[in-house]
Structure 1
Amino acid sequence: MGRLVALLILLIPGCLAALGIKLMRDTVFGVLISPFQILWLQGLTGLICFCLGLYLLGGFILYRDRKRNQVSARFRKKQNGPGA
């Protein structure tokens, strides 16, 4: 059950990033989609969707790998001791 939930968590930002790529591609080829009135607004929305989806996917993977201690030293969280 936990793996299914993790898959669904990864699926939503993945679809958001894919939507962003599609919107940017349509902007490059000059295809205007109905909710947008201006071509550059469609491209900007696509860029924002892509960056947000990539940010969420990367953050989830980094969080999971930090929890399993599988990241390099520069990505590990610094832990303050009781005397610090």
Structure 2
Amino acid sequence: MGRLVAFIILLIPGIMAAYGIKLMRDTLFNKLLEPYPALWLQFTLGTIFVVLGIGFFAGFLLNRDRKKGNVSKRFQK
């Protein structure tokens, strides 16, 4: 049960990052999606989604590796 919850917690930021990549790709091809009023706003939100999604995933991995002791000295608390 615990592994399923952890998988779902990691799945949500992954989907968010994938949607952010889609938003940025659509902006580069000048395709404006419905809820966004301007292309620059669509690209900005896509960038924010990608940074938050990858940042959450990276933080989760760093925290897990710190607990196991698999990080170098500069990343330890």
Same fold, TM-score > 0.5, yes or no = yes
Shift of 1:74: 1.1
| Alpha-carbon distance between aligned partners in 1 of 2:29 and 2:40, rounded to the nearest angstrom | 12
**5+ long unaligned stretches in structure 1:** 78-84
State how many pairs are aligned: 77
| Alpha-carbon distance between aligned partners in 2 of 1:37 and 1:28, rounded to the nearest angstrom | 16
Larger Rg: 1
Which structure has greater helix proportion?
Answer: 2
| Alpha-carbon distance between aligned partners in 1 of 2:67 and 2:5, rounded to the nearest angstrom | 17
Q: Give percent identity, aligned residues only.
A: 58
| Alpha-carbon distance between aligned partners in 2 of 1:13 and 1:68, rounded to the nearest angstrom | 23
Shift of 1:38: 0.5
Shift of 1:5: 1.0
For 2:60, the equivalent position in structure 1 comes to 60
Letter in 2 for 1:63: N
**Equivalent runs, 1:1-84 vs 2, <5 Å:** 1-77=1-77
Name the stretch that deviates more: 27-36 or 67-76: 67-76
Shift of 1:33: 0.4
What is the TM-score normalised by the length of structure 2? Answer: 0.96
Shift of 1:70: 1.0
| Aligned residues: CA RMSD | 0.7
Letter in 2 for 1:3: R
SS at match of 1:25: helix
Q: Which runs of 4+ in 1 moved over 4 A?
A: none
Shift of 1:6: 1.0
